[in-house]
Amino acid sequence: MPKIGMEEIRKDQVIEAAINAIVSKGLSNLSMKDIATQASVSTGIIYHYFESKEDLLMQVLKASFRQSHEKVMETVGPLKPSQDKLMKHLENINLVPKDNPEYMAVFLNYLGEANHNPKIRDMINKLFNNLTDYIGQYLRNVSDDKQQLKNLPVMIIALGIGLGTMWTLNNQLYDIDEMDQSLKTLISNYLANENGGKSK
- Residue 92's pLDDT is what? 94
Are 124 and 173 part of one and the same domain? yes
In sequence order, the 6+-apart residues with CB closer than 8 A to the CB of 93 are: 156, 157, 159, 160, 163, 164, 183
Are 40 and 68 part of one and the same domain? no
42: domain range?
Answer: 1-50
The Cα 121–Cα 111 span in angstroms is 8
In a domain, 46, yes or no: yes
In a domain, 56, yes or no: no
**pTM across the whole model:** 0.85
The Cα 71–Cα 76 span in angstroms is 8
In a domain, 76, yes or no: yes
Which pLDDT band, with edges at 50, 70 and 90, does 5 fall under? low
- Residue 7's pLDDT is what? 86
- Residue 91's pLDDT is what? 96
Q: What is the pLDDT of residues 99-120, one digit of tens each?
A: 999 999 999 999 999 999 999 9
The Cα 187–Cα 175 span in angstroms is 18
- Residue 200's pLDDT is what? 39
Q: What is the pLDDT of residues 27-70, one digit of tens each?
A: 988 999 999 999 999 999 999 999 999 999 999 999 988 888 88
Which residue, among 183, 178, 197, has the nearest Cα to 89 in the 3D structure?
A: 183
Are 78 and 29 part of one and the same domain? no
Question: Considering its fold, how many domains does the chain have in total?
Answer: 2
| CATH code for position 80 | 1.10.357.10
**Comparison of pLDDT for 184 and 9, the residue scoring more:** 184
Mean pLDDT of the chain: 91
